[in-house]
Amino acid sequence: MNTKERKEKERERKQRMILDAAKNLFIREGFDNVSMRRIALAAGYSPAAIYRYFSNKREILSHLREEGFRAFHVRQKQYDQSLEPVKLLRQAGRGYLRFAMEHPDDFHLMFCTTCEEVDLEGELAAESLRVFEHFRSMVVRIVKSGYFGDVDEEAAVFGLWAGVQGLANLVTSGRMQVLSDRDVDELLESTLNFLRR
């Protein structure tokens, strides 16, 4: 029905308001320093009302992270066409940096918010796992191609992940800085060279 659809829309709109309020607060003050009461207040609700939309505080964070990962994944899949491994890695790295630059808040929530609080199992972590799996399979392919020489797969996955994270941190820690495409490429290239040493 039209009414049913409208209700669904309405519900999503309100979820959105809560998520936005929470995101804003989490980023500015940190997960632990934000209470449900304050999220509710900021979203224009009573504390209890929040629980109609999210079953607890952690779930709000999970939702936000998941949203970030979903957006991230969409972008990363765009680069999937290339079959040449190194080219693919370059593309993925570029995508990673761009995402960090264009969505610094999501990035912060996805990677910097204290992780103990987040449920890494369960439906809401699915997207983040998918992202990591996507990354892993890509790296494995490259390792198998011999590009990094004789290196342990696990080590390569971890090392590259850390490196890419570091790069992105480098970008987001100075948030106002806007880097041109060429800048990103150069930065990426020099890092890849370094990691390949």
* Binding interface with its own copies (CB under 8 A): 29-30, 32-33, 114, 116-117, 158-159, 161-163, 165-167, 169-171, 173-174, 177, 183, 186-187, 190-191, 193-194, 197
Angle at 122 between CA 63 and CA 113, to 5 degrees: 45
Return the number of the residue (12 or 80) whose C-beta is nearest DNA. 12
> What is the DSSP annotation of 112-138?
IS-STTS-SSSGGGHHHHHHHHHHHHH
Choice from 9, 11, 77, 196 touching DNA (CB under 7 A): 11
Selection from its own copies, DNA, none that 169 binds (CB < 5 to 8 A by kind) is its own copies
Structure tokens at 17: 């308001």
Return the number of the residue (45 or 96) whose C-beta is nearest DNA. 45
Provide the minimum distance between the beta carbon of 83 and its own copies in the complex, in angstroms, as a whole number.
28
Amino acid at 142: I
* 44 half-sphere exposure, CB direction, 13 A CA radius: 6
Interface segment toward DNA; rule CB under 7 A; list 46-54, 71-79, 111-119, 173-181: 46-54
Return the number of the residue (82 or 132) whose C-beta is nearest its own copies. 132
Q: 164 near 139, Cβ under 8 Å?
A: no
Selection from DNA, its own copies, none that 15 binds (CB < 5 to 8 A by kind) is none
Q: 25 near 38, Cβ under 8 Å?
A: yes
| CA distance from start to end of the chain | 62
Task: Point out which residues bind DNA (CB under 7 A).
Answer: 7, 10-11, 14, 34-38, 45-49, 51-52, 55-58
